[in-house]
Amino acid sequence: MGRESDFDLVVVGGGINGAGIARDAAGRGLRVLLCEQDDLASHTSSASTKLIHGGLRYLEHYEFRLVGKALVEREVLLRAAPHIIRPLRFVVPYFKGLRPAWFIRLGLFLYDHLDFGKRQLLPGSCGIRVAGHPAGAVLDGQFTRGFEYSDARVDDARLVVLNAVDAAQRGATVLTRTACTGARIDGERWVMDLADAGGGGLRQVRTRALVNATGPWVSEFLDHTLRIGARRHIRRVKGSHIVVPRLFDHDFAYLFQNPDGRVVFAIPYQGRYTLIGTTDVEWHGNPAQAAISDDEVAYLCTAVNRYFTVHIGPPDVVWSFAGVRPLVEDEKSSASAVTRDYVLEMQDNGAPLLSVFGGKITTYRKLAEDVVARLAPRLGEIGRPWTASARLPGGDIGGARFDDFLQQCAEHYPWLPAELRERLASAYGTRIARILGDARGLADLGEAIGDGLYEGELRYLVDHEWARTSEDILWRRTKLGLRALPETRTRLDAWLGAYSVPRVAIG
Ligand SMILES: Cc1cc2nc3c(=O)[nH]c(=O)nc-3n(C[C@H](O)[C@H](O)[C@H](O)COP(=O)(O)OP(=O)(O)OC[C@H]3O[C@@H](n4cnc5c(N)ncnc54)[C@H](O)[C@@H]3O)c2cc1C
């Protein structure tokens, strides 16, 4: 066993909720440790539909409070990270025989107003005629009318990483590939066992408070790791997505109603693709092993084929991913009806333990603020809430819209190929300067790994974003895995093998 270190707060789980909590707490002056058993965002938080949204369909379940809260957060997050979170306009073709037009109109009216006037960055909803609309050309001829409304899209995995980067900048210790394998109370402290799969072995840390942000593992962590028994449970609901070569070449996304009452999104993705999802299937296995089934692929293909003139089938699928929603168990029979809101549960037998049940990416910042507020009385003097008006790393693009920032990048780095420039600006925002430094041409970026990856970016990802494997880089820090050639992966593995990885000191 290594030495013990003392913290105010240890957060277990490096998904969006854990990373957000660590950032909030570190920014209030607390000594924070965040530990994640795999890579940051390895599980649910990189398998979402990638929307920062109020959740139009939750209105049907009378979730007005949740939708209102999420709509307010949508605006906050658009300002905090304009590089990785961007406005997205949705088209809803009107499908006769499903929800009546007045019902959709009422829903959209509520959606435009439930944030009590906080919406400033996004236009409101409106009715459309499909003929002549840019999104109309690919729709089947039976659709003549529809609606438009606004939401936003996010690079979910990067949102997690940026929260961890910000937490670390504010003094938090971030340990990836480090599982919490046990914890017990000693006086007024938790003593926690951490196992570092990256070669650091076992060590113990002490902390005044413990947060269980393990997402779909939340009850398991209480039952098996802490052995104190979960008083509340979650319902694990698998949701899967498919990615196909792009089905349209405009920037609108679609919300399609399904005859089973569910909705399916078709979203422009990574320039060359369309992302389609999602499904709702009860999941009883290990969340880390969730994968799409043939039935789900067929379901998603059928859902879009109902609407588009071009039809797709399983052979068109270039990538798929599945995640497990950790939903608060509320005894509802249908998985789509279970609330997407979160519940925080505090247990205090000498040292506080707060467990996070449920939640959405969209509400993570508010959740983090609520978690720290709940723990505050047990943590002594701490700073005030601060994240509502703070930017995430790279998000300080001034008053500029993202397109203007992109233009500034084009003027500053005229030698960067347009596709690479857009990718770097979108992923890193103003931190693009840290990657490009004083480079005056591609040759200054170091070894060319392939598919637009250069050594300069890799160094940044390993040194500042905890990237360790080619999968971390190709599927979470970037989405280059979608198109990377086998040679690129081989060169990337070789580069990573030769690079000396910085060790994170604890405490
Ligand atoms: C299909 C799907 C679509 C979704 N779409 C959206 C959307 O468009 N918009 C939206 O706002 N929300 C969406 N959500 C919801 C959102 O993705 C989740 O609510 C959110 O990602 C949950 O984050 P989390 O941090 O709680 O869990 P996770 O991201 O799963 O993180 C928990 C982490 O804890 C780690 N962990 C577990 N046990 C231990 C241990 N003992 N030691 C160390 N680490 C441990 C795990 O490895 C994991 O990385 C979607 C969810 C799904 C499944």
Domains in the chain, ordered, with CATH?
A: 4-44+157-233+339-389 (3.50.50.60), 86-153+235-325 (3.30.9.10), 402-498 (1.10.8.870)
Q: For position 157, what pLDDT does the model report? A: 98
Ligand 1 lined by 219 (C-beta under 6 Å): no
pLDDT at position 10 is: 98
Q: Are 39 and 157 in contact (CB under 8 A)?
A: no
Q: How far apart are CA 266 and CA 243, in angstroms?
A: 9
User: For ligand 1, is residue 355 a contact (CB within 6 Å)?
Assistant: no
pLDDT given for residue 321 in this prediction: 98
Q: What pLDDT does residue 199 have?
A: 79
| Whether residue 281 has its Cβ less than 6 Å from ligand 1 | no
Q: What angle do CA 65, 277, 105 make, to 5 degrees?
A: 45
Protein residue closest via CA to atom 6 of ligand 1: 48
Model pTM score:
0.97
- Evaluate: CB of 49 within 6 angstroms of ligand 1: yes
Measured from the Cα of 363, ligand 1's closest atom is: 11
- Reported in sequence order, the residue ranges of 20-144 that DSSP labels E, i.e. its strands, are 32-35, 51-52, 85-93, 126-129
- Cα(226) to ligand 1 centroid in Å equals 20
Could you tell me whether strands 173-175 and 32-35 are parallel, antiparallel, or unpaired per DSSP bridges? parallel
pLDDT of residue 194: 97
Q: Which atom of ligand 1 is nearest to the CA of 42?
A: 49
Q: How many CB atoms lie within 10 A of CB 227?
A: 10
Distance 182 CA to ligand 1 centre (A): 21
Q: Which residues pair with 321 in a beta bridge?
A: 241
Nearest CA to ligand 1 atom 15: 360
Pocket test for ligand 1, best of 40, 51, 214 (most atoms within 8 A of CB): 214
CA of 38 to the centre of ligand 1 (A): 13
- Kindly state the tokens that stand for 233: 């449970």
Residues contacting residue 249 through CB under 8 Å, at least 6 positions apart:
none
Residue 270 Cβ < 6 Å to ligand 1: no
What is the Cα–Cα distance from 223 to 356, expressed in whole angstroms? 14
Say yes or no: CB of residue 16 within 6 Å of ligand 1. yes
The answer to whether the CB of 14 is under 6 A from ligand 1 is yes
Q: What is the pLDDT of residue 333?
A: 62
* Interval between CA 439 and ligand 1 midpoint (Å): 37
Ligand 1 pocket, 42 CB below 6 A? yes
pLDDT in tens, 315-324: 999 999 999 9
- Ligand 1 near 214 CB (within 6 A): yes
Distance CA 148, CA 322 (A): 28
For ligand 1, is residue 57 a contact (CB within 6 Å)?
A: no
Q: What is the pLDDT of residue 39?
A: 98
143 lines ligand 1 (CB under 6 A): no
Find the angle CA(480)-CA(484)-CA(488) to the nearest 5 degrees: 115
| Residue having the nearest C-alpha atom to atom 31 of ligand 1 | 15
The DSSP-derived string for 233-275 is -EEEEEEEEEEEE-S-SSS-EEEEE-TTS-EEEEEEETTTEEE
Point out the residues of the chain with pLDDT beneath 70.
1-4, 331-333, 400, 504-507
Report the separation in Å between the CA atom of 215 and the middle of ligand 1, taken as the mean of its atom positions. Answer: 5
Q: What is the distance in A from the centroid of ligand 1 to the CA of 49?
A: 12
Q: Do 166 and 61 meet the contact criterion of CB atoms below 8 Å apart?
A: no
Q: Which residues contact 82 (CB under 8 A, 6 or more apart)?
A: 395, 397, 401, 402, 405, 429
Candidates 33, 34, 45: which one to mutate for ligand 1, based on the most atoms within 8 Å of Cβ? 45
Ligand 1, from 38, 39, 43, 221: best to mutate by most atoms within 8 Å of Cβ?
Answer: 43
Nearest CA to ligand 1 atom 21: 45
